Structures are given as structure tokens and as C-alpha cells.
């Protein structure tokens, strides 16, 4: 794996001028952030050596290099999901590469179902912690000491300083903000009402199909993480209605400017 990470990193470095300081992973319906990046270069995933090959969805996305909030960033427009059939190593490979490129922080976004009854569809939730409900963990297998420790600490998965700054930014800009726990599971099915209830009972506020693997791998390499969920549908008893991927995308796109503003202002503080 190490050889592949290094190969991909050097391939990308040959194609860019500025080394990114921050990596950003854009979730479902949240690609709008890309429009405000001062663009330097885009590279399609299919053109990147060793990047996972797209399975189901035609073209899988691209890396965007440029400036946002005065910082050199690399954004993943489109991520790899476990439910698509990628291994956990494939899902998280780009995070490894971003670390080797030089990122000092990782920002992530996702669409999720709200299970805290105080949350409304269209709300934002800053992740203060997560629960890994995926059937596996991306760090299973032989540990590569050069990447990180065998038993990584997860007590500070989401950087408190970044969370506090983001809460202040949201308040200063009149954006309603929640802080909560994200449960990550495989999908691709949305949850049954009983599953939503179960996930609520074990302490989560929102549930989705991403983010957790990438954060685990980022923390393995000691990268401070910051993540935002858009609540795109409700898993609260009495509020549950049929949910489609299209609705998830629509709600996420509508809420996206609020998330972009928080990311941009937070970048300015780094
Ligand atoms: N459950 C799981 N993943 C999701 C949901 C949900 O309700 N909404 C958006 N992604």
C-alpha cells in the first residue's frame, strides 16, 4: 500500500504547483463548494494512477486544487462509498494520498438522516463524535508503522478547537448549528424505523453512509478532522416519510451555501 500511496502522490505532485494544506471531502449534493474555489487544477479520478476505478456511477469524480479562504486546498468532488463495493482500503486511499501530499487538516461533509428530534430537515450538524457501525474498520490488517500506530486513539476524532471556531462562525453568520454524534453504517438501504430508533438509543444524532472510514484513517495519521452533516431527511418516529436519493441531493444542495460559508471562514482562521 505504501508504494502505491507514494506513486500516486508523486504523480499528483508533478501536476500541481501549490502543495495543499487542507483536504476537503465533499458529500452527496455538496459539490457546490467547488464553485467558490480559486481554481488551479482539476484531475479526474480515472486519470490518477492507483486511484480506485469507478464501479457503478459512470464517472466517479475529480480532485480540485486551488485556494479557498486564503489556503491552498485539495477537494475531492465525489467520494468512494463502501456500499459501492470498494474495500475500506480503497474508500480511504485518497485520504492517505492527501496526507502524503502535505495536508495538515481534513474537512469532510456528508448528507445524513436526522434522528435527534430537535433537528429539522435542512439543518447543519457539526460532528463532535462518531459511532462506527460499518461491518469493518479500514485499519484491519497488517499495520504500516510509517502511517500510524497499531491502536490509534479516537478520543479526539473531531478536533475541538475547529468545532468551537465553527460554532462561533455559524453564530456570527446567523446559521442554525447543531453539534452531535454521527453514526456511520454501510447502506445502501436507508434505515427502517426500528433501525433509526436503535441508532438513536445508542447515542447518535444523525446517521449516514460515509465519513467514519475516512476519519479513522485520517486520525491514524494524526490529521485533525472537522466534519459537517446536512440533515436531509428525518428518522424521528412520527416524522419518517419515504426517502429517495434525489431528495437527499436536493436538500443537501439547498443547504450547501451555509456549509461552504463555514468551511471558507474556518479556513481563514488556520
Ligand atoms: N440514512 C442513512 N444515510 C443517509 C440518510 C439516512 O436517513 N440520509 C442521507 N444519507
Closest atom, ligand 1, to C-alpha of 235: 7
Nearest CA owner, ligand 1 atom 2: 208
Any atom of ligand 1 within 6 Å of the Cβ of 48: no
208 CA to centre of ligand 1 in angstroms: 5
pLDDT value at residue 55: 61
Nearest CA owner, ligand 1 atom 9: 112
pLDDT value at residue 113: 97
176 CA to centre of ligand 1 in angstroms: 20
pLDDT value at residue 54: 66
pLDDT value at residue 106: 98
pLDDT value at residue 59: 56
Distance CA 88, CA 99 (A): 17
> In angstroms, what CA-CA distances link 156 with 67, 159, 225, 238?
28, 6, 9, 34
- The total domain count for the chain is 1
pLDDT value at residue 60: 67
The grid coordinates listed for 89 are: 482500503
Distance CA 190, CA 207 (A): 9
- Taking each continuous run of H as one helix and of E as one strand, the counts in the chain are 6, 9
What's the whole-model pTM score?
A: 0.97
Given a contact cutoff of 8 angstroms between Cβ atoms, the answer to whether 51 and 45 are in contact is yes
46 CA to centre of ligand 1 in angstroms: 27
Given a contact cutoff of 8 angstroms between Cβ atoms, the answer to whether 214 and 99 are in contact is no
Residue 242: give its domain's CATH number. 3.40.50.1580
pLDDT value at residue 32: 87
Give the pairing of strands 62-68 and 71-77.
Answer: antiparallel
Task: Name 103's Cβ contacts closer than 8 Å, sequence gap at least 6.
Answer: 20, 21, 22, 23, 74, 223
Nearest CA owner, ligand 1 atom 10: 112
> In angstroms, what CA-CA distances link 185 with 40, 76, 155, 189, 195?
35, 21, 20, 10, 11
Distance CA 204, CA 206 (A): 6
Nearest CA owner, ligand 1 atom 7: 113
Closest atom, ligand 1, to C-alpha of 191: 1
The grid coordinates listed for 114 are: 436526522
235 CA to centre of ligand 1 in angstroms: 9
Distance CA 185, CA 65 (A): 30
Any atom of ligand 1 within 6 Å of the Cβ of 208: yes
pLDDT value at residue 210: 97
Distance CA 193, CA 243 (A): 12
pLDDT value at residue 253: 92
Closest atom, ligand 1, to C-alpha of 208: 3
Distance CA 212, CA 215 (A): 5
Domain that holds residue 123: 2-269
4 CA to centre of ligand 1 in angstroms: 32
pLDDT value at residue 186: 98
Mean pLDDT per 10-residue section of the chain, whose length is 270 residues: 97 96 92 92 95 68 96 96 95 98 98 97 97 98 97 97 98 97 97 98 98 98 98 94 92 93 97
Amino acid at each position: 500500500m505504501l508504494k502505491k500511496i507514494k506513486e500516486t502522490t508523486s504523480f499528483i505532485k508533478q501536476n500541481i504547483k501549490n502543495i495543499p494544506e487542507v483536504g476537503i471531502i465533499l458529500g452527496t449534493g455538496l459539490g457546490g463548494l467547488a464553485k467558490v474555489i480559486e481554481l488551479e487544477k482539476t484531475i479526474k479520478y480515472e486519470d490518477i494512477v492507483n486511484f480506485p476505478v469507478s464501479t457503478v456511477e459512470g464517472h466517479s469524480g475529480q480532485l480540485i486544487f486551488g485556494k479557498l479562504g486564503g489556503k491552498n486546498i485539495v477537494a475531492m468532488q465525489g467520494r468512494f462509498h463502501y456500499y459501492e463495493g470498494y474495500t475500506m482500503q480503497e474508500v480511504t486511499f485518497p485520504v492517505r494520498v492527501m496526507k502524503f501530499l502535505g495536508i495538515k487538516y481534513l474537512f469532510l461533509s456528508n448528507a445524513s438522516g436526522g434522528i435527534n428530534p430537535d433537528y429539522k430537515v435542512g439543518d447543519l450538524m457539526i460532528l463532535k463524535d462518531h459511532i462506527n457501525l460499518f461491518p469493518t474498520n479500514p485499519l484491519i490488517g497488517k499495520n504500516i508503522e510509517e502511517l500510524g500506530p497499531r491502536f490509534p486513539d479516537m478520543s479526539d476524532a473531531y478536533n475541538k478547537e475547529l468545532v468551537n471556531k465553527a460554532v462561533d462562525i455559524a453564530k456570527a453568520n446567523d446559521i442554525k448549528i447543531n453539534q452531535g454524534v454521527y453514526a456511520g453504517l454501510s447502506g445502501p438501504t436507508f434505515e427502517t424505523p426500528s433501525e433509526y430508533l436503535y441508532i438513536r438509543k445508542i447515542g447518535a444524532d444523525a446517521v449516514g453512509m460515509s465519513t467514519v472510514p475516512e476519519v479513522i484513517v485520517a486520525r491514524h495519521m494524526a490529521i485533525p478532522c472537522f466534519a459537517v452533516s446536512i440533515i436531509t431527511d428525518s428518522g424521528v418516529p412520527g416524522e419518517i416519510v419515504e426517502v429517495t436519493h434525489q431528495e437527499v441531493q436536493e436538500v443537501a444542495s439547498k443547504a450547501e451555501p451555509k456549509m461552504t460559508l463555514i468551511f471558507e471562514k474556518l479556513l481563514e482562521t488556520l
